Amino acid sequence: MENPLPVSNNPREGKQGRRLYYRIKTSIQQSGLSIAELQPGLEYPGTGLEDDIAAILKKYSKLARGIVTPDPASLTGLIRTGWSVNVKNGVAQDFPEGDVELANVDYVCPLGPDDGNSISYDTMMQRAIRLGAIGSLGYAAKLLKAQEEGKEIFPVESCGEHYFIMPRTELLDVNRGRRVAYFYWVVKSRRWVLDFGWGVGNFSRHVRFLVPREKKPLAA
């Protein structure tokens, strides 16, 4: 019988090839398709099959490395009834990050040494831009999912101490008030919960941004 696996002198590549072969074989068995039913799909013209397989491999490779790709806010299911994404000068204020490695972030206080004990909403949003903070509503949805899977999404020492702001999506509530999502710790349920801060509030030194590690922090 002809060997269905690619020939390679690299033991690691050979092992990966065998793993892929057996995963595909298992998938075919689980599909319930007979060889006769499978054949037309294999003979279908174009690169659709290869493209789909490549996309699936990329998806699970990212998941294994803790990389997520946030969705637009409208796809998260987290926008409350009657709320909407704010639009400024014709631009929706929702900026999903692209690929983000969950573990590759620092937690930065947006207040500098001369800010006193709090800053305004507008200042907080300006600092988010200045620092290159991540945190769209789509990213918040990925964090919630990670928590459901049993993962620690924020430092343990921050439980009950810090709030984590998601500044890359600005919403309007039913009264046209500006809102941003944030996470806070609930002792009773021992979980991080998502809520929404408002534009007339101040933000204390307990708030934190999520900043990619290559960015420079404003304050400790």
Q: How confident is the model at residue 11 (pLDDT cuts 50, 70, 90)?
A: low
Give the Å distances, CA to CA, from 9 to 6, 14, 178: 10, 8, 60
Question: What pLDDT is recorded for position 122?
Answer: 96
Rounded distance between C-alpha atoms, residue 142 and residue 122, angstroms? 26
Quick one: which of 157, 199, 207, 204 has its CA closest to 182?
207
Q: Is the pLDDT of residue 22 over 70?
A: no
Looking only at the bridges linking them, the beta strands covering 207-212 and 163-172 are: parallel
Mean pLDDT confidence for 65-75: 84
56 three-class SS: helix
Question: What pLDDT is recorded for position 2?
Answer: 44
Amino acid at 129: I
Percentage, residues of the chain above pLDDT 70 = 73
Give the Å distances, CA to CA, from 1 to 4, 29, 132: 9, 20, 57
Q: What is the mean pLDDT of the chain?
A: 83
Give the Å distances, CA to CA, from 50 to 36, 44, 46, 56: 20, 11, 9, 10
Question: What pLDDT is recorded for position 101?
Answer: 87
Q: Is the pLDDT of residue 62 over 60?
A: no
Question: What pLDDT is recorded for position 51?
Answer: 64
Strand pairing partners for 85? 171
Q: pTM of the full predicted structure?
A: 0.70
pLDDT: is 33 or 88 the higher one?
88
Query: In this structure, are residues 210 and 183 in contact, taking their beta carbons and an 8 Å threshold?
Result: no
Amino acid at 195: D
pLDDT digits (tens, 9 = 90+) for 23-60: 666 767 777 777 776 777 677 676 666 666 655 544 54
pLDDT digits (tens, 9 = 90+) for 97-150: 989 888 889 999 999 999 999 999 999 999 999 999 999 999 999 999 999 999
Query: In this structure, are residues 33 and 65 in contact, taking their beta carbons and an 8 Å threshold?
Result: no
Question: What pLDDT is recorded for position 181?
Answer: 98
Q: How confident is the model at residue 201 (pLDDT cuts 50, 70, 90)?
A: confident
Q: Is the pLDDT of residue 64 over 50?
A: no
Amino acid at 69: T
